[in-house]
Structure 1
Amino acid sequence: MQDHHSSAVSRRDLLGMSTVALAGAVPLAVYPGPGAPAHAAEQVHGHGHKPGVTPPEDLMREHGVLKSVLLVYREGIRRIQRGEQVPGQPLHAAAQVIRDYIERHHEHLEEKYVFPRLREAGRLHRTVGILCQQHKRGREITARILAATRHPRASAHQRQALVSDMAAFIRMYEPHEAREDTVVFPVFRKVTPAGEFARLAEVFEAEEHRRFGQHGFTTMVHKVADIERALHIHDLSRFTPAKTPSRHRHRRPSAR
């Protein structure tokens, strides 16, 4: 069965949240809880629900946490490859966020509610299979990263293995989350009846509260921000390329 990558994707389906932009800049008290909209979320009409975080938006803002951890991994790779000491504690904390929030919560919701709905609708069968396989492979890599960063004093071979694992995780999850955000979640929304869609919003919120407390998402944003601060990569402006002067100025050809 062929995947339907040509399905219409509206701009509102592409809502996401960059945790780097939030990290360390806003005090905890001003953050909304997981049930409040981070952006202008849509109202589910006809069911008496107030505007809130829809299931795709909930999953996509969790991808924002994942993106920030990928930046932490990149910084770890950069330092190790420059011969610096392995930043074991920050990398270990980042891998714990992946294991607890992304693998045991975010991916659990996808595998229990999103992927079965797509299979029932006969949509994206091959893509869903690959995503599930990548979830499994990602958990294997995370387990190795956790083990390697528990005792950061490592041999050259162990350092290289850690770099390879973090690089492999980044390489897999960047297209993984992009495919989910731009293809999987919009199709999931399209094939899910409105009543079921509204119910799942409540299920997702309740599950996050059960696992991480009333402000689970906010807690994770701040946890990742603390890791970024420990590595001195929390300042968003550090990611802005410097403006370089043009080496070749256009001059009028001289008259002969």
Structure 2
Amino acid sequence: MSQDNRQSEPSRPEIEITPTEDLMREHGILKRLLLIYEDAEKRLRGYKPLHPHIVYPVILQTGTIARNFIENYHQKLEENYIFTRFLQEQSHVDLVRVLQEQHTAATKLTTLILQAAGQGDLYMQGRNYIAHLLSLYKQMYEPHEAREDTVLFPAFREMVTPEEFQSLGEKFEEIEENMFGKNGFQTILKQVEQLEKALDIYELSQYTPHFTK
């Protein structure tokens, strides 16, 4: 093919991310934060080496990402653009109210986690308290995000028009860029990866079960 012909070819359009896909990939970030909390909890309870000079900073940084990316950004998208639509349509009202209550609980838990981890208590009572907070966050958010992914988001997709759906996707991308800069999702992802590496839980293969013959 000649250079002239290559130049005349139309450029490939940028792939747009739908609003529910955007929210679900953000749930992927949340899942990885929960894995970090799970590993930190094991260390605080004595099931793995503690290494407090590593674990407490990791908890603080994870809590900060949870506060900035999940609670102040992701949850607000759901509340302002998804939950409100269901309440207006009087659809899945009970589910939305529970999800909203859990958003409030998550914010309170993160405040407590940041306060407790900031003190860096090495005594067993203090360690167990932080471990309990991490467990509560994980215990609540695993079913929370699963219910949104399997019930609320599919129902929302059926509720809005294709034009509304596309417009909302563009709105989400605009908000993300304003809050976290261009490629904000990738920036947050890299931060999470560094925390995983600090706890030595980054390599996916470690989660693969091995069977004896």
TM-score of the aligned structures, taking structure 2 as reference length: 0.89
The counterpart of 1:80, out of the listed 40, 44, 52, is 44
Which stretches in structure 1 are left out of the alignment for 5+ residues? 1-48, 246-256
> Secondary structure at 2:182's aligned position in 1?
coil
Correspondence list, 1:46-195, <5 A: 51-82=15-46, 84-86=50-52, 87-195=55-163
Equivalences, count: 197
Could you tell me how far 1:189 is from its partner in structure 2?
A: 0.9
Could you tell me how far 1:151 is from its partner in structure 2?
A: 2.8
4+ runs of 1 displaced by more than 6 Å?
Answer: none
Whichever residue aligns with residue 167 of structure 2, its letter is: R
Could you tell me how far 1:150 is from its partner in structure 2?
A: 1.6
Whichever residue aligns with residue 161 of structure 1, its letter is: Y
Could you tell me how far 1:127 is from its partner in structure 2?
A: 0.2
Distance 1:50 1:122, change over 3 A: farther
Map of 1:206 onto structure 2: 174
- C-alpha distance in 1 between matches for 2:14 and 2:183: 19
Whichever residue aligns with residue 200 of structure 1, its letter is: L
Superposed CA deviations along residues 5-52 of structure 1, whole A, max 9, x for unmatched, are: xxxxxxxxxxxxxxxxxxxxxxxxxxxxxxxxxxxxxxxxxxxx9641
Give the number of the structure whose residues are more often helix, by fraction.
Answer: 2
Whichever residue aligns with residue 65 of structure 1, its letter is: I
Map of 2:211 onto structure 1: 243
Identity of aligned residues (%): 37
Could you tell me how far 1:84 is from its partner in structure 2?
A: 2.6
- C-alpha distance in 2 between matches for 1:244 and 1:63: 35
- C-alpha distance in 2 between matches for 1:194 and 1:242: 46
Superposed CA deviations along residues 64-84 of structure 1, whole A, max 9, x for unmatched, are: 000000000010011111173
Q: CA RMSD in A?
A: 1.4
- C-alpha distance in 2 between matches for 1:217 and 1:144: 26
- C-alpha distance in 2 between matches for 1:106 and 1:73: 19
Q: Tell me if structure 2 keeps the 8 A contact 1:117–1:192.
A: no
Could you tell me how far 1:119 is from its partner in structure 2?
A: 1.3
- C-alpha distance in 1 between matches for 2:121 and 2:71: 27
Map of 1:41 onto structure 2: none
Superposed CA deviations along residues 207-243 of structure 1, whole A, max 9, x for unmatched, are: 0000000010000110000000011111110111122
TM-score of the aligned structures, taking structure 1 as reference length: 0.74
Superposed CA deviations along residues 138-173 of structure 1, whole A, max 9, x for unmatched, are: 110001111111231343222111111100111100
> Secondary structure at 1:106's aligned position in 2?
helix
Distance 1:196 1:50, change over 3 A: farther
Which stretches in structure 2 are left out of the alignment for 5+ residues? 1-12
Could you tell me how far 1:108 is from its partner in structure 2?
A: 0.3
Superposed CA deviations along residues 178-232 of structure 1, whole A, max 9, x for unmatched, are: 0000000000111112221111111100000000000100001100000000111
Could you tell me how far 1:244 is from its partner in structure 2?
A: 2.7
